[in-house]
């Protein structure tokens, strides 16, 4: 399902802070974040070949979440949502142009929210597309939380992360951000949205870190933290298993093209 909180401040030294949980069936093979090419850092869905998050040496960044719509998700889909992030990371289109093109073919995919941008360079931008709205938009500077509806839909876990985000950004140790993303507390049943899934499933999915769905073989597989300036990026990723939270961790720090650390 996935959830991400991020602060976009293109005029500041740190242009983008982003924290992302990736939720998926534990049986679906995937590779943790690594250099998949000489210039692209991303995880890999080993079934369809796409990715949920990635950042390139040229300063391109992309991530995707699904839209929770169980009736629509039973329909046959020809293409993986993870392809959308891969295409942007490997391409050179401006984010707005790319999302206009994606909007025209959104029906080929399951419901999605797509975030993509260019962090480095003199004209940074961050863009968002929701597959239901089909209206690409450049995001102004600000704090955002994205789950499985549209941007800033006030689900309980979205509001919880929104309240924590300022402290998560200011805590350079990343412990506040990590603690927030590892919060497995579920929302009170009276506060749950109605997205069309059974009530027990809705309750399990209301946590930021999904653990209660593990009996169905589903849960949060990884937590990724990104801090990026005009010149470089720092990425941490924590991999979770059915039995252990943060079973492994890896980090990368690298300069964007034309810069040094």
Q: pLDDT (tens digit, 9 = 90+) per residue, 62-117?
A: 999 999 865 555 555 678 999 999 999 999 999 999 999 999 999 999 899 999 99
Rounded distance between C-alpha atoms, residue 71 and residue 54, angstroms: 29
- Rounded to the nearest 5°, which phi and psi values hold at 29? -65, 135
> Which tens digit of pLDDT belongs to each residue from 129-168?
999 999 999 999 999 999 999 899 999 999 999 999 999 9
Q: Are 136 and 103 in contact (CB under 8 A)?
A: yes
Q: What is the pLDDT of residue 218?
A: 93
Residue with the larger pLDDT of the pair 14 and 198:
14
Of 56, 44, 85, 86, nearest in space to 222 by CA: 44
First to last CA, the chain: 35
Q: Are 60 and 255 in contact (CB under 8 A)?
A: no
Q: What domains can be seen in the chain, in order of their start residue?
A: 3-153+217-255 (3.60.60.10)
**H or E element, residue 201:** helix 199-204
Q: Which residue has the tokens 């309750």?
A: 203
């Amino acid at each position: 399902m996935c959830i991400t909180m991020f602060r976009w401040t293109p005029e500041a030294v740190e242009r983008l802070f982003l924290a992302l949980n990736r939720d998926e069936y534990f049986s679906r093979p995937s590779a943790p974040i690594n250099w998949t090419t000489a210039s692209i850092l991303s995880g890999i869905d080993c079934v369809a070949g796409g990715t949920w998050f990635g950042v390139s040496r040229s300063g391109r960044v992309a991530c995707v979440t699904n839209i929770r719509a169980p009736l629509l998700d039973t329909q046959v889909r020809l293409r993986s949502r993870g392809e959308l992030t891969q295409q942007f990371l490997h391409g050179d289109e401006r984010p707005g142009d790319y999302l206009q093109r994606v909007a025209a073919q959104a029906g080929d995919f399951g419901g999605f929210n797509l975030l993509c941008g260019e962090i480095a360079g003199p004209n940074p931008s961050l863009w968002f597309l929701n597959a239901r709205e089909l209206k690409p938009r450049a995001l102004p500077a600000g704090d955002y939380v994205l789950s499985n509806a549209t941007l800033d839909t006030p689900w309980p876990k979205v509001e919880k992360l929104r309240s924590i985000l300022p402290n998560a950004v200011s805590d350079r140790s990343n412990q506040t951000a990590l603690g927030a993303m590892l919060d497995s507390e579920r929302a009170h049943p009276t506060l749950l949205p109605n997205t069309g899934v059974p009530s027990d499933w809705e309750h399990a999915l209301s946590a930021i870190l999904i653990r209660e769905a593990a009996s169905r073989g589903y849960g949060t597989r990884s937590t990724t933290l990104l801090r990026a300036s005009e010149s470089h990026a720092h990425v941490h990723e924590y991999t979770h298993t059915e039995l252990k939270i943060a079973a492994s961790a890896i980090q990368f720090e690298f300069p964007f093209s034309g810069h040094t650390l």
